Amino acid sequence: AQSVTQPDIHITVSEGASLELRCNYSYGATPYLFWYVQSPGQGLQLLLKYFSGDTLVQGIKGFEAEFKRSQSSFNLRKPSVHWSDAAEYFCAVGAESYNQGGKLIFGQGTELSVKP
Amino acid sequence: KAGVTQTPRYLIKTRGQQVTLSCSPISGHRSVSWYQQTPGQGLQFLFEYFSETQRNKGNFPGRFSGRQFSNSRSEMNVSTLELGDSALYLCASSLARASGANVLTFGAGSRLTVL
């Protein structure tokens, strides 16, 4: 069965420091991968996605992610974190079976805290 | 253009009652999916509607149901509420590609508290 694992439940980084959030997936074929961010009391906002092609994808707010098939990973990175980046981050994979386009399998999320 | 709109944003119910949540998708989006978010179980897929038909369903009891109208607006209903139904219910709309290469846009959610 498909699954997504985010090993880090909570990460704290200093403002201006670099960030890497880990995501591992289990999937039979080429996965459709997503990173979403959720601020307190809000819905999910799409940061970036990978469907095919270049394995390094750029997203909004200065985020990027790299797809590594050999490691079944899709880690999210940002070179310099801002206090406004404090939020919860979710990695997700699109359902493998056809006709399940509305279904995403989410990881448990990583809560990011930013120290001044 | 307007995003995904969910109403109500907050509601409190008691055990045994039922609740109906509403979702208006982005204009032109024909698919609406619903998710339940809880601290213990995380984000779980409830069901997806496309062209007024349920296209697929997650692993939830029959107390959870939904429907979609001809204008793509959707409602979900939970009957005989239990304490464990307390959650943030998120709606997402998309262009309804059948494959997983489908970008979902989420609403702000409806926060349900069951007492």
pLDDT, one tens digit per residue, over A42-95 is: 899 999 999 888 999 999 999 999 999 999 999 999 999 999 999 999 999 987
Residues 18-47 of A with CB under 8 A from B: 31-32, 34, 36, 41-46
Burial of B59 (C-beta count, 10 Å sphere; 0-12/13-18/19+):
exposed
Percent of chain B residues topping a pLDDT of 70: 96
Q: What is the pLDDT of residue B25?
A: 97
- For the residues B78-107, what does the mean pLDDT come to? 90
* pLDDT score of B95: 86
B29-41: average pLDDT: 95
Provide the pLDDT for residue A103.
Answer: 87
Amino acid at B38: T
Average pLDDT over residues B89-95: 95
For chains A and B, what is the number of CB pairs under 8 angstroms? 88
Compute the average pLDDT of residues A21-26: 96
Convert the pLDDT of each residue in A1-10 to its tens digit. 789 999 999 9
Residue of A nearest to B56 (CA): A100
Q: How far is CA B17 from CA A66, A73, B65, in A?
A: 46, 43, 15
Residue A106, strand partner residues? A92
Enter the tokens of residue B68: 């979609």
Q: What is the pLDDT of residue A98?
A: 66
Q: Retrieve residue B33's tokens.
A: 């999916």
pLDDT surpasses 90 at A102: no
Give A97's contacts (C-beta < 8 A, 6+ positions apart).
none
Q: Tell me which residue in A32, A45, A99 faces B101 most closely, judged by beta carbons.
A: A32
* The pLDDT value given to residue B98: 62
Residues of A in contact with B96 (CB under 8 A): 101-102
Q: CB–CB of B42 and A105 under 8 A?
A: no
Chain A residues within 8 A of B50 when measuring between CB atoms:
102
Range of weakest confidence among B56-60, B69-73, B100-104, B105-109: B100-104
Q: Is B61 exposed, middle or buried (0-12, 13-18, 19+ CB in 10 A)?
A: exposed
Count of beta carbons in the 10 Å neighbourhood of residue A24: 17
